[in-house]
Structure 1
């Protein structure tokens, strides 16, 4: 051990000591991890122990101590993970590992300790996680970022079983499946792809999540669960330019935030110190680093005009300061971090994109710490969210412009004209939930509730081609179109049909360079026979509670008491008739999280409000 390395080890212990002196965040202590009670390897000698951090030494080498320590923690249910956008750095004199068990986070730092007779030091530090995403118990190759949040892993389970696991676990954490086509929460919202599926999840005051599952050639399932910009699911409402919609400002840092920042700073400092120590050992001498305040001052200085990154694999430019570039052409997504400011990245795209023929659409999200940009060229679109995240800027992109060439509609090139003499594309019939959907499609899925079922698809073809397909296919099935009610516009179609089961509606639209289709059927005869149909012009609400304990839900000034288990297996819970419109509701007196939300209903509909572990789930039943 060189004198330089000894000073490095002492510095790390000093940093760890400062982290231990930070106050525990309020609300964290109730379910906090007690590091002093975690399992340790045999032969260890305790140096310091507390709920927040514990240090002990071991007689074996760093590598052997790390392997054995991670083994005993794994046996206790802890799962190790790496950072999503960071490369692993091997160092024979130290190991830094991140682990998770349920909603608890743990940092394990193992290094040579010359001050302890050259023993190996092990430090356990509890780390509060900003976001808790569930890890499958048999997951491998786990990559996790609790700040974004973002989870990537592999599991031997099937796509369907993995989807069931995440749906159950996310609902228990307060998330709800989201139907993008219905713009509403749903009981089940999986959309199948050629080799897997994807689904969206939403929660109040959180960025939406997208879960993507892909079956690999070896039979395993690849998992990607990450947050996405809200505008992907919720189109921003146009606001007058002189009165933009206000954007919520971030709240003041809490003790929880400060502790998370301190632990992140600790990990980064350890890595920087390790690189410095290795360089010192090889070269003998390094130039002194400027003080931390000087480095911060340098970082705050404006940079010169950004240039495009050479060798970029994405179809749109990224700045030369991009780091951790993650481009997924099959899903049409882009993600990276940048050391440049929000304003500099925004200026980069507003200069580069028009030069490539892109036109910008204004958005209402334009704040110093977050800007949303939208560009279009022909039928191709791309949206970019540029957000300040700690000391760096995170950029996420989505849209048809980011899809691989084969995933983009063959008729969506910018060279095509918008005149009405374009030929339509022939489509074949596929099926989802017993209803026809066009093929080829980039996604398809089906939904079913008490007296209503539907099929959805996103088709890489012109709207006219999809319209022609449905009119031909539904005509073959004997459906009768009410042409007097038809709405046909260049980017929107609504057709109404009658059939023995009840009325059907076909809705076509355009999104991300593709045609979206939703075909839904209401089973009128079955609803009438059930006795649950509302009075004409009214809406009926069915209440359910899958919890064992009773719950109380207040809606439209009415207090509805729902016994435990009521309505969970059959529509035998309380009911209420309401006038059409938007109704606020609140949940009280239940083991489910307190919920305050709204549901919008129309005349002659039936809706269900189901109380569960995640709160209240509204589902259209008819």
Structure 2
């Protein structure tokens, strides 16, 4: 290509060519102007006082704020756009939408409203273009306009008489490129039936032959129906012609384990395949006979049968009773707009529920029985192992070490000694037997003036001892743990004055951030926690607990934790009882009434954190399981998973507890109702000395006392 040297003279004819090329170049214009189906929203009228949001420029969207509430703004916007020639309409099945939709010619517009900046006295208004894919004419002055531009669907009331409406649509449909179908032009649809009269009205069918080259791409033929009204106006409906819709529907993905046809405009479900009751509702884009045939086919394939008609509900055209081996249900079909509305419900039969409950109970009992058997085997194996290990422990008399730093003597076989004088704790291990160590401390402490308190635990593998002297006490546990014996002692008698830390106020540090609830927890607890545990009590075979108890430790001040629980429990419908509430700087106890039953929140302070104990009772579950205490009393339930019968004496009553009572094979053991208070009770087993313990019960509580395989008694609050 020849080059022109800089500074050289250019022939005049070249300048003329260059000017011609520039003149041919198109002038710049907005992107929306290139598409006549898309309105330039930046040119539309706005409400008085509008302030445009220019932080995010967008060719196809404009947002502005006005100083009026949303409801008033919506009404004013509707009037403003209507005055500009835009016709408002509503989508079928979307009658409650707060957004506004308009059509003007072949252009569509959608307007949404939100509260601006969190202020109820201001509104944000957004204009967005909405393409009209299938345009049909709106009669001037039409009311109750229902329109979907994608199919299309039009439903409205034209203000004129039937003849005037018919003339209007004949003219305007043709102007928009629609062609009235004839038997010849409808031949591509084998099932097309253009005949048939409409009572008190007329009907016509149209297609759009240029659909492949215009925005009516792949447009199905439509059916126009006009009917005369008693008030002189005309009902109008335009929808896809029935013969252009599928006659055999495919199955979409199941919802709630129930069949759903394809296509649907909307669908929702409740429950799942495992629920006792489930249902789906949907709007199918098909004729009612096709939907009816779909369910006849799909339900039969799943083992359901039809059992005749069910009573019709409002909106129903068909209602059919259905049933399977385990469920009964009802299929309801009706018409709304151009949809077939579907409602399908299924309910598990009482007999099936009973069978499921029985199977679950048997499975639970088998699981518990297997678990109990495995536990008994483990216990037996552990006993054998302990005996083997105990044989290696020495019963030889012990002497005290000379280097002991604790206030009590240490035996010469003591190993790994840990002594904390400030807290009054001592722990060590030894190769001497439980018997030898117990004898050592009973002898040495007695000679030092300590008096031993009676104890019911004095076994070859474990001994618990308690000593007192001069207002001080020492509790000591000696337990075989594997090939050695562990000794733990604590109490005021072990506190050394020099090791006592200076007492100071509990400085409650605030949490570094607001306490947030853990969404995975069954009972409220902050995500900011150092520990958490949740215990539940329930009967074998039951899914519903009688009582739930949450314990946690929160690195936050007590007032922060209390505020957290008051807020979160209120959200759950818990009501705080003001009577008897205790709230101080380091302690709180508040009773609540929850939807399930009574509850109590206890807060305290320990190790620089706030401790939480939240217990909730389920009154309905307790009544159903027959463990609910009588008014003003406590209930005591007795069980025995040991191999021999036991007897329990409490409150001057002696009750025999058969082996296995309260276990998987016999869930209900003996029960007693007691006035609130503290009770001493004695447990007796054949060939063993009586064991005495105490139990404190309050009104409205239910406790379980379970005799273990080794004869130990386990108390457990159940309600």
TM-score for the superposition, normalised by structure 2: 0.32
TM-score for the superposition, normalised by structure 1: 0.37
Higher-Rg structure is 2
